[in-house]
Amino acid sequence: MSRATIPSPSQRAISTSKTGRVWEIADALSEKLGRRADRRSVIDAYVAEGGNPNTGSTQYAYWKRAFEERHSDRQEGFASVPTMRLTIGKDGRLVIPAEMRAAMLLGDDEPVSAEVVDGELRILSLKGAVSHVQAMARRFDRGTGSPVDELIAERREEARREDESHSR
């Protein structure tokens, strides 16, 4: 397996290698936490088992990329519907079939946003828009808790270091 190759879940399940163990630890921690495991926790657990921290760090980067790809477009409750032929009426109205509305989690009289991209009409329900924003936010989650709490902790640590440097 080359360094640029990200093992599939089935390849990892078969693997009993040291690198496969990093993926197993990361998956187990993520499942336990209900979110992506952070780098430090995974590497610490791997090193505690006698693993090399550099191997842990490299494999965590590959695992994280694969994890984000697996979870980036996951939208709870949404479904897909095969292509259907629709007709736009003379008055410009488009009727979206019930099956498609259900797949979009779109209720009656519910607002949607619409855009045309390269000639393609895209209609997004409010639930769909929220789901997309949540997926984008997950990409920035370092897996260590609330981003707000992390920012506050970082600022306090910077202030503490500054105070220490001024008191010397």
How many structural domains is the chain composed of? 2
Tokens at residue 20, please?
Answer: 């496969």
CA 150 to chain centroid, in Å, comes to 18
- Residue ending a domain, among 22, 42, 72, is 72
Q: CA angle at residue 43 from 15 to 14, to 5 degrees?
A: 5
Identify the band that residue 142 occupies on the pLDDT scale cut at 50, 70 and 90. low
Is 65 found in the same domain as 134?
no
Going by C-alpha positions, the residue among 67, 25, 62 that lies closest to residue 46 is 25
Q: What confidence score (pLDDT) does residue 71 get?
A: 65
| 12 CB-near residues (< 8 Å, 6+ apart) | 20, 23, 24, 27
| Of 25, 156, 136, the residue nearest 74 (C-alpha) | 136
Question: Do residues 140 and 127 lie in contact, with contact meaning Cβ atoms separated by under 8 Å?
Answer: no
Average pLDDT score over residue span 26-30? 88
For residues 167 and 108, membership in a common domain is answered with yes
90 and 163 share one domain: yes
One domain, residues 86 and 65: no
Q: What's the CA gap between 131 and 112, in Å, rounded?
A: 14
Query: Can you say how many angstroms the Cα of residue 100 is from the centroid of all Cα atoms in its chain?
Result: 25
- Own/partner pairs for 105-108, CB < 8 Å, 24+ apart? 105/77, 105/78
147 Cβ neighbours under 8 A, 6+ residues apart: 140, 141
CATH of the domain at 120: 2.10.260
Predicted local confidence at residue 64, as pLDDT: 85
39-58 pLDDT, tens digit per residue, is: 888 999 999 999 999 989 88
Do 60 and 97 lie in a common domain? no
Token pair listed for 12: 């990892």
Cα–Cα distance for residue pair 161/63, rounded to 1 Å: 33
The reply to whether 84 and 166 lie within a common domain is: yes
pLDDT number for residue 44: 93
- Tell me, yes or no, whether 21 and 36 share the same domain: yes
Whether residue 165 is found in the same domain as residue 106: yes
Range of the domain at 31: 1-72
> Which of 31, 29, 52 has the alpha carbon at shortest distance from 41?
29
Q: Is a pLDDT exceeding 90 seen at residue 151?
A: no
